[in-house]
Amino acid sequence: MKNLSLIIALGFFQVCFGQNPIIQTKYTADPAPMVYKDTVYLYTSHDEDDAFGFKMKDWLLYTSTDMVNWTDHGVVASLKDFKWVNTDNGAWAPQVVERKGKFYMYCPMPNNMGIGVLVADSPYGPFTDPIGKPLIKNSLDDIDPTVLIDDDGQAYLYWGNPNLWYAKLNEDMISLAGPITKDPSFAKVKDQPDPFKYQEGPWVWKRNNHYYMAYASKCCPEGIGYAMAKSPTGPWNYGGVIMDGDQRSSGNHPGIIDFKGRSYVFGFNHMLRMQTMSKHYERRSVSVTEITYNADGTIQKLPFWTA
Ligand code: FUB
């Protein structure tokens, strides 16, 4: 019966929304796309089907070479891969980056246990924990890691809700090369305007010498905002909104890539959950749509997820 509902939902959404949500056989969130060679590797978190509240045990992988057809590779990593994690709930938003043929997966840990890192020789895994402890254990903000490897080889790790934090990584990608800093551009100052409305889910990238930080903006419903800078450590200037919050999307978590000459934003929404009439709120669905950059590097605002 559950499968029948999903098939009906799939037909409905293909008529109404084209290919979105792109994953319709499982509930997925926190998309972390990685372009490697001619393929998009889409890592996601995974909302369990039978859960009430967040129930997230593992991370999934989907691949595509055309952004239309997606292959399901199932679970690529789970909380069990971290020996120092003693719960089976809390596999939140990850990101995988490649450096010199190795693949590093940065994973937030449940209950403020910090941010861990896994490494593999292939984007498909197997991923193992090279340090046996958290890479980041700094504050209650320690979720939602995102990584930039700059053109000079220096890598930066950013994370945080409701503050944005960052630190340099060593070339080994599994140790810090400097202090942890709370980014002042995104900081909320009492009685001062806060144009960024940063909440969580940072996603960093560099394009045409502009540094970008997209993020989920101001909760419930969260939209996708972004900032731009001339350096990886700011100062950041508010760029605008890529997508407004919408009642069909209580949260959000952007992942932005260029692939085969086009640019895309991934995120998630509740369209599949609403269609299947699920009462469980934390059942999300990854979606994707094209974005367009203006000549000055700013990003054109989109309506809600389109095909
Ligand atoms: O999926 C769990 C949490 O919800 C993520 O860490 C946040 O970014 C939000 O998507």
DSSP letter string, 18-51:
TT-SS--SSEEEEEEEEEETTEEEEEEEEE-TT-
CA distance 289 to 295: 20
Cα(200) to ligand 1 centroid in Å equals 8
pLDDT, tens digit, 9 for 90 and up, residues 1-60: 344 444 444 444 444 445 899 999 999 999 999 999 999 999 999 999 876 788 999 999
Burial label for 122, CB within 10 Å (0-12, 13-18, 19+), is exposed
Cα(98) to ligand 1 centroid in Å equals 22
Residue 271 has a pLDDT of 83
**Shortest-distance atom of ligand 1 to CA 143:** 6
Cα(296) to ligand 1 centroid in Å equals 31
Cα(295) to ligand 1 centroid in Å equals 32
Provide mean pLDDT across the span 254-272.
94
Token digits of residue 184: 């002042």
Q: Whose CA is nearest to atom 1 of ligand 1?
A: 92
H or E element that contains 9: helix 2-17
H or E element that contains 243: strand 237-243
pLDDT, tens digit, 9 for 90 and up, residues 162-188: 999 999 999 999 999 999 999 999 998
Closest by Cα among 198, 118, 207 to 158: 198
Predicted structure pTM score: 0.93
CA distances in angstroms from 176 to 55, 63, 197, 278, listed in the order given: 30, 30, 28, 42
The ligand 1 site (C-beta within 6 Å) comprises 29-30, 45, 92-93, 108, 143-144, 200-201, 216, 251, 253
Residue 5 has a pLDDT of 47
pLDDT, tens digit, 9 for 90 and up, residues 86-143: 999 999 999 999 999 999 999 998 888 999 999 999 999 999 999 999 999 999 999 9
**Of 26, 45, 95, which is best to mutate to test ligand 1, by the most ligand atoms within 8 angstroms of its C-beta?**
45
**Shortest-distance atom of ligand 1 to CA 54:** 2
Residue 299 has a pLDDT of 98
CA distance 88 to 48: 11
- Percentage with pLDDT > 90 across the chain: 78
CA distance 208 to 42: 23
For the chain, report the end-to-end CA distance as a whole number of angstroms: 27
Residue 252 has a pLDDT of 87
pLDDT, tens digit, 9 for 90 and up, residues 277-286: 666 778 899 9
CA distance 76 to 61: 6
> Is the distance from CB of 273 to CB of 215 less than 8 angstroms?
no
Cα(80) to ligand 1 centroid in Å equals 19
> Is the distance from CB of 120 to CB of 178 less than 8 angstroms?
no
